[in-house]
Amino acid sequence: MKVRFLKIVDALYEGYFKYEVVAFHPEGTPMNRQEYKMALDVAESQIEKGDFISAEEFEKEEN
C-alpha cells in the first residue's frame, strides 16, 4: 500500500513538474518545462549543424 501511494504522489509531482512554467517565449507567452526542453534540443541541433550567426553578424542585421 505504501508503494502504491508513493507511485501516485510521484505521478502527481511529475505531472506538475513537467508543465510548470519555467520561461517565456520572446512574445511573452509562458513556456513549460517540456516546451523549454524541446527548444533547447532544437537549439543544440542547430549549433551542431552550424546553423547560427555570431553576435557581430546579428548586430549588423539589426542596424
What pLDDT digit, counting tens, does each position of 11-61 carry?
A: 887 777 778 899 999 999 999 988 999 999 999 999 999 999 999 999 998
pTM for the model stands at 0.61
The single residue listed with the C-alpha cell 539589426 is: 62
Identify the H or E element spanning 52: none
Domain edges within the chain: 2-62
- Going by their DSSP bridges, the two strands 21-24 and 30-32 should be labelled as antiparallel
Task: Quote the DSSP letter at residue 28.
Answer: S
Q: At 1, is the pLDDT very low, low, confident or very high (cuts 50, 70, 90)?
A: low
